[in-house]
Amino acid sequence: MTTVSIKEVAARAGVSPGTVSNVLNRPAKVAAATRERVEEAIRELGFVRHGSASTLRAGHSRTLGLSVIDIGNPFFTDVAAGIEDAASERGYAVILGNSAGSRAKEERNLRVLAEQRVRGVLIIPTDEDLSRLDRLREHGISVVLVDHPAHRPDQCAVAVDDVAGGRTAVAHLLARGASGVAYVTGPLTIRQCLERRQGALAALEAAGLGPDRLRVAEMAAMNARAGEKAAGDLLAAGLPDAVFCANDLLALGVLRALLQAGVRVPDDVMLMGYDDIEFAAASAVSLSSMRQPTHQLGRIATELVLDECENPETHAHQHIMFQPELVARESTR
């Protein structure tokens, strides 16, 4: 319960508090003998630096803020794992906020992050209005957008090309012989859903097919249950050659409902998901999907935000756009 401070360490080692601080922060600045004496004292007393005092005086903390849309979705947790890895390697702590798709909750979380004076914020935004991020920047907090293109030039962003992903996916289905595709998606107000559809249309056009060949089933949620429901609708309305889902969770739901209805995948209907979550490969008919470099997305975003706040003068803002990768499995074979 007794918290030992830098002063007591200093007394024990027979030096001034300033020297202890130097041992902690710029060990090179202090003579080897003294340094060892101080380190010894630190060990003996079990001293652990008071992060808040340090933050207060130094003007910046060693924590990053992270706001994700849905911590239950494996795609986001994979990204978060990458962020946590990179941050912890450099001695940064990560404060996690789950916006659960709610803008209000996201704002509340950002407020907490601002109070904590995090060094930087990594955010997977819930919607397209990013003005609240500018307010963070006014407080001197670096912000990097994750899985979202930049909304202004003086800002870093790490994204994955969703238009290309949609195009690649549908082009794959067409190459496998499909002549029409159903697109099962979440709300088209979600950027990812919208852009993947855009890509899908582009693929059709490139194949000389009209936009009428893409039947869109827009669901309220993006989980397996919604996928099952969508499959029911498709069954009722007549099956297309192929189904492209905006998300693996949807696809798994579709898959399950189709198999239960006696539809063979891929023989009767081909099926594609998106994200390539771990469970995509493990489903009974393994799922073709678009793989995104989730872990790397998180890692690079972290490196960018740390570079921005640790080297503000040399930092060059970057807009990084990864390309998703087609993973063809049984469901489109």
Partner DNA sequence: CCTCGTATGTAGAACGTTTTACCGACGAGC
Partner DNA sequence: GCTCGTCGGTAAAACGTTCTACATACGAGG
Using CB under 7 A, list all residues that contact DNA: 3, 5-7, 14-22, 24-25, 29-31, 33-35, 47, 49-50, 53-54, 56-59
User: Closest approach of Cβ 306 to DNA, in Å?
Assistant: 17
25/260 with CB nearer DNA: 25
Binding residue for a copy of itself, selected from 5, 34, 116, 318, defined by CB under 8 A: 116
21/283 with CB nearer DNA: 21
Q: Which one of DNA, a copy of itself, none is in contact with 236 (Cβ closer than 5 to 8 A by kind)?
A: none
**Contacts (CB under 8 A) with a copy of itself, residues 122-141:** 135, 138-140
**Contacts (CB under 8 A) with a copy of itself, residues 202-261:** 223-224, 227, 249, 252-253, 255-256, 259
207/221 with CB nearer a copy of itself: 221
Q: Which one of a copy of itself, DNA, none is in contact with 102 (Cβ closer than 5 to 8 A by kind)?
A: none
Residue 38 touches a copy of itself, criterion: CB under 8 A = no
Binding residue for a copy of itself, selected from 8, 34, 45, 96, defined by CB under 8 A: 96
Strands 156-160 vs 181-185: parallel, antiparallel or unpaired: unpaired
Binding residue for a copy of itself, selected from 114, 163, 188, 221, defined by CB under 8 A: 114
Which span (12-20, 161-169, 200-208, 280-288) binds a copy of itself, by CB under 8 A?
280-288
Question: 3-state SS string over the chain?
Answer: CCCCCHHHHHHHHCCCHHHHHHHHHCHHHCCHHHHHHHHHHHHHHCCCCCHHHHHHHHCCCCEEEEEECCCCCHHHHHHHHHHHHHHHHCCCEEEEEECCCCHHHHHHHHHHHHHCCCCEEEECCCCCCCHHHHHHHHCCCEEEEECCCCCCCCCEEEEECHHHHHHHHHHHHHHCCCCCEEEEECCCCCHHHHHHHHHHHHHHHHCCCCHHHEEEEECCCCCHHHHHHHHHHHHHHCCCCEEEECCHHHHHHHHHHHHHCCCCCCCCCEEECCECCHHHHHCCCCCEEEECCHHHHHHHHHHHHHHHHHCCCCCCCCEEEECCEEECCHHHC
Q: Which residues form the interface with a copy of itself (CB under 8 A)?
A: 1, 3, 46, 48-53, 55-56, 61, 63, 66, 71-72, 74, 77-78, 80-81, 84-85, 88, 91, 93-98, 105, 108-109, 111-117, 135, 138-140, 223-224, 227, 249, 252-253, 255-256, 259, 278-279, 281-286
